[in-house]
Structure formats: C-alpha cells, structure tokens
Structure 1
Amino acid sequence: MAWPDGVAGLHVLMTADAVGGVWQYALDLSDGLRAHDVSTTIAVLGPPPSADQQAAAQASGATLVMTGLSLDWTAQSPHEVEEAGEAIARLAADLRPDLVHLNAPALAARANFDIPVVAVCHSCVATWWQAVKGGSLPEEFVWRTELVKRGYASAGRLLAPTLAFAHATAKAYELSQVPSVVRNGRRPAPVSASGPNGDFVFTAGRLWDEGKNFAGVDRLASRLAIPVLAAGSVQGPNGAKAQAAHARVLGQLSDMEVARHLSGKPIFISLARYEPFGLAVLEAAQMGCALILSDIPTFRELWKDAALFVDPDDESAVIEATERLVRDPETRRVLGSAARARADAYTIEAMSAGVLSAYRSLLEPKPSRSPLEGAAA
C-alpha cells in the first residue's frame, strides 16, 4: 500500500468487545494490518476477554487495553454510552494514534475526537428490530438508535460488511450516503486433529440472540435422525437466554475446537433472521461444509449458488433441505466445494486492503485549490 508522506507506521486505536463476532473481526483485521506496518491498540469494552481470547489477541499483534466501559447495547442509559465514548476520546488523546476505528459507532455520539474516525456498521438495534420483530421501536431502542445516528454523523467514513446491510443501514438512519462495503474476512484455522464423523448438523454463534433463530434449529433437531450440535453461549450479557430441548449445546468453543468439528464436513445450518455478515458461515465454508442458510438478503449476496436457501419459518422446507443432503452425499460434496470456492474471496488480505483504503481516504492531505481555481468556481 502506497501511503502519503508521513503515514508509514500508522497506529490505530480500535474499539471492540469480547462477546460476539466483532472480537474476531478486530483480531483478524489487526493481523491483516500488521502486514502493512500498521499497529493496532484494541480498547476492550464490556466483559474482559477470556484467556484464550487474550492469547489470540497477542498472536494477532494487537495491544489490549481493558477499559471496563459499558457496551452500547447493554448500557442502561444514554449517559453510560456517552461517558464511554468520552473515555475512549481521552484514551485517544493519551495514546495519540493516527486514527480511531470504532466498531461501536454510538461511541462517537458526543465524544470529541481530534483525529479522523472510521466507524463500522456491524449491526444495530434498529435494523435488528426491523428484521426480527417489525413495527415501531420500543422505547429502550429509541434512544440507542438516536445515539447510533449521531455517531454515524460524526464519523469521517462509514463501512459495512455487505451491500444489503449497507442499504438497510442507510434506510434505517436516513443517511445521505450508503456506507462503503468492505466484506469481512477470515484465515482458515489449522486443524491438528480430525473432527467427529460428518454425519451431523452443526451451527455456531450467539445462540441467545433471537435474531440467530436458534429456536428454529432446535426444533429441526427434534425431527432429524442425525444429531444437531450447536456451539455458542445460550445466555447473553444483556439477559437474553435461549433454551435447547433437542439440539446438543456445546457451549462456547475455542476457534480450534470449532475448526475441529467443521473439519468433519458436517452440514452447516443458519436459520438467522438477522445477519449482517455471518463469520460462522464463512468458517464452515472454508472447511468445505455444505451450507443450508435462511433466505435473507445478506446470505444471498454472499453465498448465491453456493448454498441451499430456505425460509426460516417453513419448517417443512428446512427439514426437506437437510434430509436431502443427508441422503445425497454427492450433492453435499458439490455444495461444500462451491462454498469453499466462494469463501476464497473473503480473506483477511482483501478485508485489510479495503479498510486501509478507507483509512487512507481520511489521512491523505486534500489537494489545495489555487487562487485561479477559486476565481473560476
């Protein structure tokens, strides 16, 4: 990457939490940026990362700062979020990075940053509510949405992981410009030992999140002859909780443990009603798993012709698609190969290049206008 004069050795202050997919995004991006001589300090909000997560952060080259600040989506008042944003601004003033990368744009609602800010639209309660519930926002979501809207307005650049979600965000917040698309990327995890036999269905993610529709996967498990395994927590930091009556819940697994299960090439399923990207789907595709995905715009955009798409509310269609792959190993193999080929486009290198381009657009000096240009304007 050719940087403007004085930008080599860029230092980025990035925010993240250790609860969901943003954590993996932050570490992967830190790893990718390191190849371009960019160092990353991650300010961790919410619960502290586990020992495994901290080890992964160290391997990515990121420096962690545990802030103990409230997460925007679990905060009890606007004041908590605004205070967290101001604390991040003070941290930026102390560390003096070249740029701030907010993975929680609401943090910019009131904070005064004196350096460029890039914000990423990973997800938000407004678009979540529209996809999962519909209708008017509840009062507790109204103020959260207002903070996000103010944060979007304060950022120098907005990024989104898919075009479908970029348009959904622009519509929800009445943005004058659609966020730029930089798709997420992952590096396939090395597998040191073979996983279980692939005659099972696998899903992974925040099982407690109603938008992931784990309830639909659990009902599927009651009607299949093969087991359904689910990796992830059934209880969220916001008090949300999922019940499992039929699927076998494995709990929160490390990246290596998830990769070991995926190495057996099970049928991977996601019946999510809301998924701005879906890192777990990408991880399964990288391992050559056949994909059964809910028919939502983001999944269609990312995995067209490389997955079976189903209406998440049509249980008969979900059962039929799953049983088809159980009975037909050749179709399963072809779908798995197609998913793996499509996954080759979603790399850490491509993600890092896109993010670096956004950084550079804010950091490079703007050309000055000559007096003659001003007179002609």
Structure 2
Amino acid sequence: MIRRRLLLTTDAVGGVWTYSLDLAREVAAQDDMVVLLAVLGPAPNAEQLDAAAAIPGLQLIDTGLPLDWTAGSAEEVRAAANALALLAEQSGADLVQIHAPALALASYPVPVITVVHSCVATWWSAIRSGSLPADLAWRRDLATEGLRRSDLLAAPSRSFATALRDTYGLKHAPIDVPNGRVPLTAGSEIAPGGFVLTTGRLWDEGKNIATFDQAAALTALPFRAAGASEGPNGAAIQLRHAEALGQVDESTLTALLSKRPIFVSPARYEPFGLSVLEAAQAGCPLVLSDIPTFRELWDGAALFADTAEQIAAAVERLTGEDEARRFGDAARTRATRFSPQATARAMLTHYNSLLGRERRAAA
C-alpha cells in the first residue's frame, strides 16, 4: 500500500511549531501518512530539532525561505510560494497544508489547504486603528489573493474564522478546527495560585504584555513572564515590574506549570492561544482578556479582565484557595475538549475530501 504524503509548512517562532508537531504525530499515527515538515523563517533550535526527530517518519526540511511577515517584499513571498510548489512536486506530495495564506500564491500540483493561524490585517484591526501602513498593506493584499486561491480554508476558532471572513470579504467563513495540545504535565493536585505566570512571544504587541507588567505592580504575588522579549521583526519589550524569565525550554515550562500558577493572558489578539491551553491542562486558574476567542473557548472556566486594575483584582480573588481550585479544575475540565487527536481526526476528514481532486485554484 502506498503511503500518502502531506507537505506541511510551519515556522519555529511560536505556537505554529507546536501545532505542527502535534498534528504531524497524530496524522501519522491515525492514517500512516508521511509528513514532510517544511520550515520557513529562522531555523529550529536544538530542542525543537530533537522534538521533531522523536516523531516517527517525520521528514523535516529547513527551507531557509522567508516568512510572509518578515519578508522584505512581495516578490520574496511569491518566490517562497513558488519554491514550496516545486518542493511539493519533487517530493511527491499528495496534499499541501500551508500556515500562511500568501504561501498559496503558486501553481501547486495538488490541492492546498490553508490553516490561518494569524494574519497582519486581523492583528492590526485588533490592536491599532486607521488604515494599514504600506508595509503591511501589501502583505494583506497577498493574503487576500492567497485565501481566494486556496482549495480549503481553516481557522482554529469560530471567532477568528468570522474575523477572517469580515476582514477579507470572503463569501464564507473558513471552517473552524480548534487546536489541540499534548499536556505538558500530569496535572498536579497541589494548591494553585502561588505566583502569576504568562508565557509566549512577549515582544508581540498583540500579547499586550505591557498590561501584564503594569498589573504586577498592583498585587503582592510575584508575576513571571516566560518567553522571548525580542522578535525576528525587531519588536521588543522590557519589563519593569514582572520578572522576565526569558525563553524557557519545555522541561522548565512543565516545571512552572506543575506548580499551578495563576495564568494570565491579557492578549488583545489571539486566534486560539496554545499557551492558555497548556496552562489549563495543568489545572492553572485562568485570567484572560475579554476578547471573542477567549469567550468562545473559555467562558465559564476563566475570569475575564482587560485593564491592569481588573487583572490585579482577578488575581486577588484567586489568592483564595477555594476560588483558585474551583477555577483551576474548571479550566482543566474544559481543556479536555482540545486534543491533538481531535484536531487530527478533523483535519484527516478534510484531507480525504480533497485528495485526488484537481486544484480548483491552479493556474
């Protein structure tokens, strides 16, 4: 029996990497599919390479191609898409799944499914006002074209799918396939709430870490932030009140989450939020910004707060052990809905609907 081959694009900068590894592991297990993982942007670090190597049958390809949001011109992005189309042909891929709409701008030999994890246009509308600056406008235009050339569109939440439809004038919203995650901890039963934690790309303005830092000055509990403070696009943040832990490896993150801290995400833009899911799986009480995505996924299992003062008040409420346990247990229960097994089952259904078709958007 000939094994089917999926060319899956990713980057090693944030949550897309985690999503891609979990998906690759599960589609290989459930369908015996060969996954070719094509990495764009900065090369994976040693820990990431080890994680990829641990997945049976995964073939990692470090393409050296630019990311759509760090490329210097539209031509660079189109060239990257063309290179991926050539890779799909040379590798004998049966299907291509890309992680950024602009990468659909090529004549792929097989159907293309675009899973939109984020985009500059929806990011801008969530955190800024006014028209897109020129450097982002051309990236939006490429994404618009790529969305319309894709054979199938998917997003990790209904809220983000709706935002994509409205932002890009799509006839239909993308299908929503929630992300899943392998739990990092077995779920400690120690009393939660000894400190406050946030994780992720601290430099990303959409994560709103400045508000987290402001809240740290308003409570007695220590606030800690794990993640990179500088991004590949030159963005950076310096914390004044919270403790910056820097980029941590998975074992360190697991140790942090096993203590069941109060987990805070004040994000103004979040299409899904894998870091929130990881914290919920560990039984951490959640304090989340009141944005559509978090309401959709965590309503009834988290406290919602937007300003530094509101975050501090929510944290203060969770210093009570009963409240901390109640919300931590609620978060852990809700997190069982989001597994990589469920994500892979859903994606395989869509793969099967596309495999063998002629490309609708080719040429």
Q: TM-score range by the shorter chain?
A: over 0.9
The share of aligned pairs that are identical, in percent, is 49
Aligned-partner Cα distance in 1 for 2:357–2:278: 38
TM-score, normalised by the number of residues in structure 2: 0.95
Q: Deviations over 1:270-314 (max 9, x none)?
A: 00000000000000000000000000000000001000011x2x3
Please state how far the C-alpha of 1:250 moved relative to its aligned partner: 1.0
Q: Which residues of structure 1 form unaligned runs of 5+?
A: 1-5, 367-377
Aligned-partner Cα distance in 1 for 2:187–2:271: 31
Q: Which amino acid aligns with 1:98?
A: D
Q: 1:198 to 1:117 in 2, by over 3 A?
A: same
Match of 1:104 in 2: 100
Aligned-partner Cα distance in 1 for 2:321–2:45: 38
Match of 1:16 in 2: 10
Match of 2:283 in 1: 288
Aligned-partner Cα distance in 1 for 2:97–2:11: 13
TM-score, normalised by the number of residues in structure 1: 0.91
SS of equivalent to 1:249: strand
SS of equivalent to 2:318: helix
Match of 1:31 in 2: 25
Q: Does the Cα contact within 8 Å between 2:260 and 2:284 map onto a contact in 1? A: yes
The structure with the largest alpha-carbon Rg is 1
Structure 1 moving runs of 4+ over 4 Å: 190-198
Q: Deviations over 1:13-40 (max 9, x none)?
A: 0111100111001001001111121121
Match of 1:63 in 2: 59
Q: Deviations over 1:175-223 (max 9, x none)?
A: 0111001000001124699999851000000000000000011111112
Matches for 1:42-53 after TM superposition, within 5 Å: 42-53=37-48
SS of equivalent to 1:60: coil
SS of equivalent to 1:246: coil
Aligned-partner Cα distance in 1 for 2:28–2:244: 36
Please state how far the C-alpha of 1:9 moved relative to its aligned partner: 2.3
Match of 1:83 in 2: 79
Q: Does the Cα contact within 8 Å between 1:191 and 1:256 map onto a contact in 2? A: no
Aligned-partner Cα distance in 2 for 1:60–1:125: 31
Q: Does the Cα contact within 8 Å between 1:190 and 1:256 map onto a contact in 2? A: no
Matches for 1:196-275 after TM superposition, within 5 Å: 198-275=193-270
Q: 1:49 to 1:108 in 2, by over 3 A?
A: same
Q: Which residues of structure 2 form unaligned runs of 5+?
A: 359-363
Aligned-partner Cα distance in 2 for 1:196–1:95: 51
Match of 2:361 in 1: none
Match of 1:322 in 2: 315
Please state how far the C-alpha of 1:106 moved relative to its aligned partner: 0.6
> Which of the residues 352, 359, 363 maps onto 1:360?
352
More relative contact order in 1 or in 2 (CA 8 Å, sep 6+)? 2
Q: Which amino acid aligns with 2:6?
A: V
Aligned-partner Cα distance in 2 for 1:166–1:114: 27
Match of 1:344 in 2: 336
> Which of the residues 105, 124, 144 maps onto 1:149?
144
Please state how far the C-alpha of 1:319 moved relative to its aligned partner: 1.3
Q: Does the Cα contact within 8 Å between 2:28 and 2:34 map onto a contact in 1? A: yes
Match of 1:372 in 2: none
Matches for 1:122-161 after TM superposition, within 5 Å: 122-161=117-156
SS of equivalent to 1:302: helix
1:333 to 2:325 alignment: yes
Aligned-partner Cα distance in 2 for 1:58–1:222: 42
Match of 1:369 in 2: none
Match of 1:189 in 2: 184
Q: Does the Cα contact within 8 Å between 2:39 and 2:64 map onto a contact in 1? A: yes
Please state how far the C-alpha of 1:254 moved relative to its aligned partner: 1.7
Aligned-partner Cα distance in 2 for 1:238–1:319: 31
Q: Which amino acid aligns with 2:200?
A: G
Please state how far the C-alpha of 1:134 moved relative to its aligned partner: 2.2
Q: Which amino acid aligns with 1:60?
A: I
SS of equivalent to 2:225: strand
Aligned-partner Cα distance in 1 for 2:133–2:282: 40
Matches for 1:158-177 after TM superposition, within 5 Å: 158-177=153-172
Please state how far the C-alpha of 1:60 moved relative to its aligned partner: 2.6
Aligned length: 356
